[in-house]
Structures are given as C-alpha cells and as structure tokens.
Amino acid sequence: MAGEIKASRAMPVVSARIYPRGGLDVLSREEVARLKDASHGGMHDLLRRCALAVLTSGSASDDPRAAQELYPDFDIQVLQQDRGVRIELVNAPAMAFVDGEIIRGIAELLFAVVRDLAYTAIELGEADAVDLETTAGITDAVFGLLRNARILQPADPNLVVCWGGHSINRDEYDYTKLVGYELGLRGFDICTGCGPGAMKGPMKGANVAHAKQRRYQSRYIGITEPGIIAAESPNPIVNHLVIMPDIEKRLEAFVRLGHGIIVFPGGVGTAEEILYLLGLMLREENADLPFPLILTGPTASAPYFEQIDRFLRLTLGEAATSRYEIIVSDPQKVARRMAEGIKRVREHRLAQQDSFYFNWSLQIPLEFQQPFVPTHEAMAALDLHHGRKPHQLAADLRRAFSGIVAGNVKEDGMRRVEEFGPFQIHGDTDMMQALDALLRAFVEQRRMKISGQYRPCYEVLA
C-alpha cells in the first residue's frame, strides 16, 4: 500500500498500489473492462472524477473542476488478479496519505466508488434487462444498489436522514453538531448527502455521543451521485458511501432508507429535497404513512425557515404544513420529537408487515423517479402555475431547484450556462416573485457557494 511522494505542478502527489479490505470482493472481467474504458461513454473518466473527489475528502472548494485542475495527471486503474482486486493510483493527492500509506477511511470510500460504478455499469447498463422505465423497476434498481453496497440491515428503525446546505455559517454548523449529538445519545445513526456543512455536522455530533454511549457499530451513511460528488467530496466521518446514478435515485434512496428526516438551513439543494419529500407526502396513497419531518436551526436561522414556510404555503397550500414541524434552537426537543416519530414508524411497519430497512410502502410515482436533464429548453418548459395538484406542482418545482443546483455546482450544468446563458424559469407572477425572493435570500446569505462571488445561473420571469 506504500507509495512514492513527488510533486506535480507544486501539488504533492503519491503513486501507490492498494488492495481492498472488505466491502469489495472481486470483479468480473467485463466490470474491469468497463471501468478501464476511456472511450466516449466509457466509465473510466467517471471513475477518475469520483475517485479524485474521494481522495480530496475534506476539501473546502465546491467547484467541481478545481480538483481536476490541481491534479491534472491523476489516474486510477482497476485490475483483477488471482487474489482479488488491485487499484493502481498514479499522481494521487498526497493529502489522502500519511507517510506514504493511504488513510484507511479514504481507501474504504475509494473501494465504494469502484463497487458502485462497477455495479451501475453492468446491472443498470443499457444492455442489461433491468427495467428503468417503470416505477417498480426503478425502485428495484435503487434496492439493488443499496443491497450491493451492504447498507440494508434488518435492525430496529434508527436511521435519521439529515439534509442541509454545504455552505452554512459557523453558528448553523455548530447547531447541526448539537442536534447530531442528541440523536447519537439516543442511539440513532445518521445518513446525509456525505459532504461538508450540514452534512458533516450531525455526523460529528453523533460520533461523540456514540463514543460516550460506547456504541461501536455506528453507521454514518453518505449518499451522493456522480454529478455532485466533485463539488461535495465526502466528509471524513462517512463510513458507508453509496454513489447512486442520478439525483432522482439518490433522493429515493434517502426516503427508502431513512426512518425520519431533519432539515437544517441550506440552499437550492435543500429546497429541492424538501419539495421532493412533500410532493410524495401530499399524494393520497401516502397520506397515512408516518414519516417525521423536522425543520430546525439556531435562533438566527428562524427567518430562513419562515421564508421557506411562506413559500411552501403559497405553492403547495396549507395541507403541506401538516407534514412538517419547525423547531428553532432546541436540539433536545428535535431529538425527542424524532424519537417519537420513529416509534410510530416502527409500529406502522409492524402493522403493515413492511421491512424496517427499506420503505416499500412509500408510493413514488414515475414523475419523481425519471431523471431530469436541466437543459435550457427543459427549464423553460416547467409548468409552475396555480391550479395544478400540489404533488404535481411540487415535482416541477423540485426540477427547477435541481436545475439551479446543476448550474451552480455540476460540471455539465455549469458548462450549459457558460455556453447559453442563465436558465430561464417561467410561472405565475406571485409564485415567481416568491421564488425570486427566496433565491435572492440564498444569495445574500451566501448559501449558493462556499467562497467567491456568486453569479446567478438563472433568471426568474413571470
């Protein structure tokens, strides 16, 4: 596992040969060939970008191209041999190594990248029989990815999903740690989007609490996707990383795995997640399904949640407010309310004979599952008008925010905006005014980018 340290364009790099320690057994010849394929549409470039994000874990940048510019000569090769899998790293970031040895946690995340991309290439590839055109087929694909990642555990419900922004202030970050601490004292595991900010804080707080409770088999699950991992590299506490093929399967994984969700302050990505979940909860077939949803932050963040609440009432109606609770500056109350909610989830799952580890009862329609490609034409065509059913409007609002996320931090989206200008979003006047006010607040509160001057990738038009 030892490597040789040298410099590349003033950045120290290491070339090394590493072997998996559990979590990645063997790969077929076809899987190895797909991961080595550097042709157009091949998997090697994707593997290289995701691996580089993991190797720069803890990076403060949310520019998806920054790591590639810093380490232009980095390469990774996956080789199959008699004793299993071997990974060759060439000119890898030295920050992932200590005295020439790769940090064990980073090595585990690197093997998770190889595992998930290999599975996606074969099991979900174009030549495979997996049905990705139906609701049941897509849910089965999400289940297969999570099972292959060994995330599904038949234990009592205890997994809390935490959503929130990667670009939050210190007061908000410290608050996420306090909530995570209270959750950890009560035996809850944490699942987030794997990155920094509100994705790291709850894990850090829970980690301390788990140590106090002498709880040694804790899970800190990070769920990401190839388009976002370069901008939100995994934080160092993640011990189970899963890379889903796209944002829609990532969102489904959150709500299928989690037993309750806590939302901290965030930006457009967090708004997208809220709209996704509420869009599902407002459907008639999910009306009686218990799923605790708590929005929380420190006292200074109260205006943020008031604005989110106003936007949700205007767009989705008063019925949406019954599906969430806002708690300000009270980590203990958040943890207690989540414990009460998850107790109801457990009772419901037992009554419905549903599994504890995968929420099969939740009905997710195809419009929430099909990947949305945020082209300028697709963004302009979104139907953001009153008179639609709340869950239908929520689906298109979610896509609008997803497009802005792409324009902010995803390489493909950034390239489209650079070439064709900002995305244009149309809709009813009052709705567009509320959307514009919300987005302006995100910009003023520096929730769009970690650093640097933010240039909007969108235009809101009535």
Cβ atoms 63, 105 nearer than 8 A: no
3-state secondary structure of 107: helix
Q: Domain coordinates of the chain in residue numbers?
A: 3-129, 140-366, 372-461
As to burial, measured by CB atoms within 10 angstroms (0-12 exposed, 13-18 middle, 19+ buried), residue 165 is buried
Cβ neighbours of residue 353 under 8 Å, at least 6 residues apart? Answer: none
One-letter amino acid at 249 equals: K
Q: Structure tokens of 116?
A: 């998930």
What is d(CA 253, CA 145) in angstroms, rounded to the nearest whole number?
9
Backbone angles phi, psi at 53, to 5 degrees: -65, -40
Strand-pair partners of 88: 17, 77
Tell me whether strands 260-263 and 293-297 are parallel, antiparallel or unpaired. Answer: parallel
10 Å Cβ neighbour count for 383?
14
Tell me whether strands 423-426 and 458-461 are parallel, antiparallel or unpaired. Answer: parallel
Quick one: how far is CA 281 from the chain centroid?
20
Cβ neighbours of residue 174 under 8 Å, at least 6 residues apart? Answer: 201, 298
Cβ atoms 151, 239 nearer than 8 A: no
Backbone angles phi, psi at 20, to 5 degrees: -70, 150
User: What are the strands, taking DSSP E only, across 174-236?
Assistant: 189-192, 220-224
Dihedral angle computed from the Cα positions of residues 134, 136, 141 and 147, in that order, rounded to the nearest 10 degrees: 180
What is d(CA 256, CA 180) in angstroms, rounded to the nearest whole number?
21
What is d(CA 341, CA 163) in angstroms, rounded to the nearest whole number?
17
What is d(CA 409, CA 403) in angstroms, rounded to the nearest whole number?
10
What is d(CA 222, CA 237) in angstroms, rounded to the nearest whole number?
9
What is d(CA 392, CA 416) in angstroms, rounded to the nearest whole number?
26
Q: Structure tokens of 27?
A: 């790969």
Cβ atoms 188, 260 nearer than 8 A: no
Q: Structure tokens of 52?
A: 């580089």
Q: Structure tokens of 71?
A: 């380490």
What is d(CA 434, CA 380) in angstroms, rounded to the nearest whole number?
18
One-letter amino acid at 204 equals: K
As to burial, measured by CB atoms within 10 angstroms (0-12 exposed, 13-18 middle, 19+ buried), residue 126 is exposed
> Which residues in the chain come in under a pLDDT of 70?
1-10, 21-25, 40-41, 59-62, 82-83, 125-130, 450-451
CATH number of 140-366: 3.40.50.450
Cβ atoms 264, 172 nearer than 8 A: yes
Place of tokens 């006047």: 429
What is d(CA 415, CA 319) in angstroms, rounded to the nearest whole number?
39
10 Å Cβ neighbour count for 95?
17
Domain 3-129 has CATH 3.30.1850.10: yes
Cβ atoms 243, 195 nearer than 8 A: no
Dihedral of alpha carbons 163, 331, 240, 12, sign:
positive
Q: What share of the chain is helix, strand, coil (3-state, %, to 5)?
A: 50, 15, 35
Cβ neighbours of residue 291 under 8 Å, at least 6 residues apart? Answer: 255, 260, 261, 277, 281, 323, 341, 345, 362
Cβ atoms 57, 107 nearer than 8 A: no
